[in-house]
A and B are shown apart, each in its own frame.
Chain A
């Protein structure tokens, strides 16, 4: 046994024995890696399927309150933040988990914070005033001049931001452009030119066809037609055939939607490119804002503004919209009490699969919640003492290999200001989209630590053949339902949401599941719109 292996072996045993009794070890071919599982969230969600026997004898607490927000992800937090901002302070936000944030939650180990899901915010579109104002208020945008936003340099993704392992060499950027044929090059250029045109495309009302947030786009029949086919069919129709371009676009879909270009709606695929039109004054428009803790940074800001109103560890199991009020039943898992809340209105910021179980409202029929899709995700947070250097661009924030189904990894310590020292912490993202979502979900929850370890390690090994011996530990974050996956019909679903929403009285839905695009901007906007409804209703 080599000395370092021996030392690590002893170290691992020590940690297991002393610190974390539930820590297991994962034996791979070459090394012994300590592993653990994060994220009770999913197991908690499954309480909803039970009959609440455990809470039968809990005492009941009754309360009356003007508004209740159910769900503490970005949409719920944004609802609360905007209510507070408008002087509407008398509300409660109920969150099932230990902490708020949802997909924008984060964790921390000895070396670094790391995101549990969403890890960046794209630069704001100029029309997105609310977001720009929010970023200004937080000092993330330092000034505006001639319609351009000047961002605080510190949290813009540091260089190098992306690298792609293509033909054995790491290249800067993710578009495979090195050593390709002139035809492929022409195709890539044509695609981006086409997206540039679509960015500017407007409906007859003069409003952009593609925009973020979606509430600021105008939908016409062309978009409805695009929503009926897959992105891949669209690309083939448009005469795009190069392997490199197809791989890149498929990668983008898997990265942002959790499913490949052969599965997602062409509307969504185009929206990804044509919806972004940031005009920053001091950086590249495609740069992102990111932090070690990912969007957990933004979660914290939003939460801080409404700390008084947030109640965590509360399982809401029934929301009934009545003529004169909304009746919410919940269990406070911490104080072991049942809550019977009478509210004038409620905002459901829970994902569709939870809303379907708990909501009874004449405005929102059960059937609406069907056909909203989520693929499961597995994220491995890996502590590694060294990342073997490859050829070309050194370690970047986002590191991807061309031609694979994997999404590569993100370096969680990339945004640190100091010189790199001791360990690297990297997040390996795996979108599980091979089979249908129920099957993949079942498989994910039946996976042993060894199996998860194998998936994460082989993803890394495909990029760095010698990395395995450097891996110290892996923490697994399993998302049974990742972000909403916009299959064909997603836009139609959003239109259905708009129709139902216009008739809603006391119960409003604010969650990115309903806007078919799971990004911070959408959650933030849906929260803003819901808060405006309550404030106006009050007035």
Chain B
């Protein structure tokens, strides 16, 4: 009896501390700024335990039964907390609310445990001895948990499995207590069913927790992966390095939050600032919402249509609070209409309107599938939604690292009877990057309006962006067509040679 109760205290204290550590680690892992995250999580947790202690006085009679039930609930909530947090990070706009809600809930139940134990034991052990033993074992449990957590549990089990495992300890304890007190309990069978159900749920979660694990990918990127998922079309990975975020699609870097403003300002403003009446804007690709953020800086803009293949990507950037902060919630702007379609098919089969400006932000032409979006046939389809005055721009890979590819895109656009203005800029995380502005008639292009307070782009800057030094020039004039896809081998050759 004596040892059993001491063992009980040991288990509940270990579990309690593990849940706290899991929540703190996860919050700083996903949100960054570990001092803030750990402080607020621990503070909330301790406060919740206080609430639990306070609430314990309302529990009367059948204290053992209450205790067992609390163990089951704590096991399930604490055990699943990590999985819930990982999943809600990608899918919900209320990550912080869920985080602190879970911490609060777990804390309350953990807070109920010690006062209840003491009340159960108070008639069996002398008060002085009781207080001393309970707290001794409580602190020993905490020490063991805090050492095991960073050294054994996270490296070998990962966060999700760790919390599930300790949830199982909680529930296991409940099962043992049910067995031990089976004669004193009023509803031993009901309790047994509840506890077994909970342990089955946790065992299931333990088996499948491997799928939620992302730590294994960390090494590929050299940064911590805070979110990773497979959509129907691509692998989406978000990483965090201190306070900067990066997005990778199929292992290709799409942006780094430190310098993406350079890339996106250079993508959007040359077209929009030269556009005489930018009312109706089309964005192809660009499901991250950054191009839309820049477009919204023009008050004249009335409608934006964003066509992106991948609903999952758009959903992350319209719901996740870190991402909506980065794109200034542009994807939830009432001026925006999102179409989930393949851009080429949409242009061929669905598009009806004409657009004043078109921003194209497709992935690089690294395979034959994406390569179709850089063919003569694509630019001809694009002309269905262009007027004589429409200005368009396309991100066109690096004119420094892949100059033949860059100029191949330029020649292809020209071959579709459009005029082009190629330009480039420096984006630290990408290197020298290129764009091609095009339209039917660019002869009398002049600046109409430019938003104030841009971080990087200016009319003066644009003049220098149009200058190409010799190491970025190429004069081959290869045209990329559906039936030759000449761009793909060029692109492969040039980027491969960079890593030789």
A: residues with CB less than 8 A from B are 153-154, 156-161, 282-284, 287, 394, 416-422
Contacts and interface: CB of A to CB of B under 8 A. Distances in A.
A416 B309 CA distance: 15
A154 B370 contact: no
19 contacts: A158-B482, A158-B485, A159-B485, A159-B488, A160-B368, A160-B485, A282-B481, A283-B484, A284-B483, A284-B484, A287-B483, A417-B345, A417-B372, A417-B377, A417-B381, A418-B342, A418-B344, A421-B232, A421-B233
Given A153-B376, A154-B377, A418-B345, 19 more contacts: A153-B377, A153-B481, A153-B482, A157-B483, A158-B368, A158-B483, A159-B371, A159-B482, A159-B483, A159-B484, A282-B481, A283-B481, A284-B483, A417-B342, A417-B345, A417-B348, A418-B342, A419-B370, A422-B232
Given A159-B482, A419-B233, A153 B375 contact: yes
Interface residues of B, number: 24
A226 B368 CA distance: 43
Contacts of B309: 419
Interface string B163-183: 000000000000000000000
Contacts of A284: 483-484
Contacts of A421: 232-233
B121 to A, nearest CB: 48
A307 B232 CA distance: 41
B486 to A, nearest CB: 8
A437 B436 CA distance: 60
By secondary structure, the B interface counts as helix
Q: Which 6 A-B pairs have the closest CB atoms?
A: A418-B342, A159-B485, A156-B483, A418-B345, A417-B344, A153-B377
Contact of B482 (A156, A419, A420, A422): A156
A158 B483 CA distance: 4
Nearest to A395: B368
Interface of B: 232-233, 309, 342, 344-345, 348, 367-372, 375-377, 380-381, 481-485, 488
B489 to A, nearest CB: 9
Contacts of B380: 153
Contacts of A422: 232
Nearest to B488: A159
Contacts of A159: 368, 371, 482-485, 488
A238 B213 CA distance: 65
Contact of B369 (A153, A156, A419): A419
Select the residue from A153, A160, A283, A394 with max chain B CB neighbours within 10 A: A153
Nearest to A288: B483
B45 to A, nearest CB: 38
B162 to A, nearest CB: 25
B232 A153 contact: no
A154 B482 contact: yes
Nearest to B309: A419
Contacts of A156: 481-483
B481 A420 contact: no
A419 B363 CA distance: 12
A158 B233 contact: no
Select the residue from B233, B369, B482 with max chain A CB neighbours within 10 A: B482
A539 B407 CA distance: 59
Nearest to B343: A418
A420 B483 CA distance: 17
A7 to B, nearest CB: 16
A41 to B, nearest CB: 32
Nearest to A158: B482
Select the residue from A154, A161, A283 with max chain B CB neighbours within 10 A: A154
Nearest to B380: A153
Given A154-B377, A421-B232, A421-B233, A394 B483 contact: no
Nearest to A280: B483
Contacts of A287: 483
Nearest to B486: A159
A388 B452 CA distance: 52
A161 B369 CA distance: 13
Contacts of A416: 345
Nearest to B479: A282
Contacts of A158: 368, 372, 482-483, 485
Nearest to A151: B483
A394 B367 contact: yes
